[in-house]
């Protein structure tokens, strides 16, 4: 009987949140897997055996035998093996991925035929960003007749202990070049080059955020049919945000081409914690509603970005486990109704600030707020 939930990296920082939440609801059917069996076993003992341990290396072989009895795989490790993912889909095992890298997610998008042939559902863009940012964009879209541009703003708190994989991905992308869709055309941009101001809710206030290579901006132009989209990042420490911008402007970030420099910066961010654990995401969408130029803004705030990613992934896995969904590869906003899913997050301390609608007068004489 296929009734197991396999969490790859299930004893890691985000993985243990997912494993613990699912283990409470499905005791004895959740497996925390990874290369270090001793860590998996210790974590299993800490859950009172509700989560089971497993030694697993997903690289270098077909690993088909490892999927026996598994209904869902949740991927929480950096740089997974594409062959393992394809085996999951071909064998009818549902798949959930928390990666923020569009380069990786696009590989899974290409496995659409494998998923349909196997009868498996793959859900991508699962977490805070991408994830809740995609859902906010989907929520705003339902209120517009025509969409012209989307801005996604993300503020991350530096006071929490971020997962090593998340820190490494951020450092590696601090000097990256990537493409966005701007006015229906593809444009190459770079992280921490352009900037834009926004105002976050909950007393956070005005912040300047910089371009960053989150996958949500590349995804929603396809899934939500939006011609222009950009994602902007800042930290709760304005000094740190500007330090990153200065590193980019002065060319200091060129040193990140070297592994030693990247690993040093990763260690610094893992060891030094200042500021708060508060995060905020805000989505601004411009378009037309009722024949008028309109801007919509909505937001979500909370604490501990890693925890937020974990609860989103656990919720997606539970929904796949308990309800039928169509076979294929989907991003989160394609499979779930945005407002309903976001509402499920509120008991965990995430606050949803619904859309404020601003109709912009064509004569430019003023605005009307609703």
* Per-residue model confidence as pLDDT tens digits over 108-147: 999 999 999 999 999 999 999 999 999 999 999 998 888 8
> What pTM value is reported for the model?
0.91
- Cα separation, 306 vs 17, in Å, equals 9
Task: Give the count of beta carbons closer than 10 Å to the beta carbon of residue 359.
Answer: 17
Tokens linked to 208? 């300047």
Domain boundaries, the chain: 4-126+306-336, 128-305+350-359
- Cα separation, 353 vs 253, in Å, equals 36
- What is the CATH topology of the domain spanning 4-126+306-336? Rossmann fold (3.40.50)
Q: Calculate the alpha carbon distances from 15 to 7, 78, 177, 209, 225 in Å.
A: 7, 12, 29, 29, 32
Q: Residue 1 burial (CB < 10 Å; 0-12/13-18/19+)?
A: exposed
What pLDDT digit, counting tens, does each position of 39-67 carry? 999 999 999 999 999 998 887 656 677 78
- Count how many residues are written for the chain: 370
Q: Which CATH superfamily is domain 128-305+350-359 in?
A: Dihydrodipicolinate Reductase; domain 2 (3.30.360.10)
| 255 Cβ contact partners less than 8 Å away, ≥ 6 residues apart | 261
Tell me the average pLDDT of the chain.
Answer: 89
- Cα separation, 136 vs 133, in Å, equals 5
Strand partners, 292: 289
State yes or no: pLDDT of 364 exceeds 50. no
Residue 25: which of 55, 3, 56, 8 has the closest Cα?
3
pLDDT confidence tier of residue 240, bands split at 50, 70 and 90:
confident
Task: Give the count of beta carbons closer than 10 Å to the beta carbon of residue 182.
Answer: 15
| 90 Cβ contact partners less than 8 Å away, ≥ 6 residues apart | 114, 117, 118, 120
Tokens linked to 234? 């800042």
- Cα separation, 231 vs 209, in Å, equals 9
Same-fold call for 4-126+306-336 versus 128-305+350-359? no
What pLDDT digit, counting tens, does each position of 144-178 carry? 888 889 999 999 998 877 777 778 788 888 888 99
- Cα separation, 275 vs 158, in Å, equals 5
Task: Give the count of beta carbons closer than 10 Å to the beta carbon of residue 232.
Answer: 24
State yes or no: pLDDT of 362 exceeds 70. no
């Amino acid at each position: 009987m296929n009734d197991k939930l396999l969490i790859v990296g299930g004893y890691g920082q985000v993985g243990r949140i997912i494993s613990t939440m699912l283990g409470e609801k499905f005791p004895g059917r959740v497996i925390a897997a990874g290369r270090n069996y001793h860590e998996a076993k210790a974590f299993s003992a800490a859950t009172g055996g509700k989560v089971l341990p497993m030694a697993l290396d997903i690289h270098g072989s077909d690993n088909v035998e490892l999927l026996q009895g598994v209904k869902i795989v949740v991927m929480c490790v950096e740089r997974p093996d594409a062959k393992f993912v394809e085996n999951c889909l071909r064998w009818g095992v549902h798949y959930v991925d928390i990666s923020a890298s569009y380069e990786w997610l696009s590989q899974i998008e290409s496995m659409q035929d494998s998923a349909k042939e196997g009868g498996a559902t793959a859900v991508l863009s699962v977490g805070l960003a991408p994830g809740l940012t995609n859902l906010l964009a989907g929520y705003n879209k339902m209120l517009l007749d025509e969409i012209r541009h989307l801005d996604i703003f993300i503020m991350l708190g530096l006071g929490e202990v971020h997962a090593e994989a998340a820190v490494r991905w951020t450092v590696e992308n601090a000097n990256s070049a990537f493409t966005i869709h701007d006015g229906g055309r593809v444009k190459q941009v770079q992280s921490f080059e352009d900037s834009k101001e926004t105002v976050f809710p909950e007393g956070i206030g005005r912040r300047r955020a910089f371009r960053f290579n989150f996958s949500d901006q590349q995804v929603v132009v396809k899934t939500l049919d939006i011609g222009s989209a950009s994602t902007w990042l800042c930290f709760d420490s304005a000094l740190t945000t500007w330090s990153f911008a200065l590193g980019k402007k002065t060319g200091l970030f060129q040193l990140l081409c070297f592994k030693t420099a990247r690993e040093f910066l990763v260690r610094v961010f893992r060891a030094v914690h200042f500021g708060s654990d508060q995060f905020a995401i805000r989505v601004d969408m411009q378009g037309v509603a009722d024949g008028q130029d309109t801007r919509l803004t909505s937001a979500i705030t909370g604490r501990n970005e890693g925890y937020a990613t974990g609860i989103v992934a656990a919720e997606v896995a539970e929904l796949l486990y308990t309800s039928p969904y169509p076979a294929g590869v989907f991003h989160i906003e394609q499979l779930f109704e945005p407002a309903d899913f976001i509402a499920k997050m509120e008991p965990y301390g995430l606050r949803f600030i619904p859309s404020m609608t601003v109709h912009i007068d064509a004569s430019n004489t003023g605005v009307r707020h609703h």
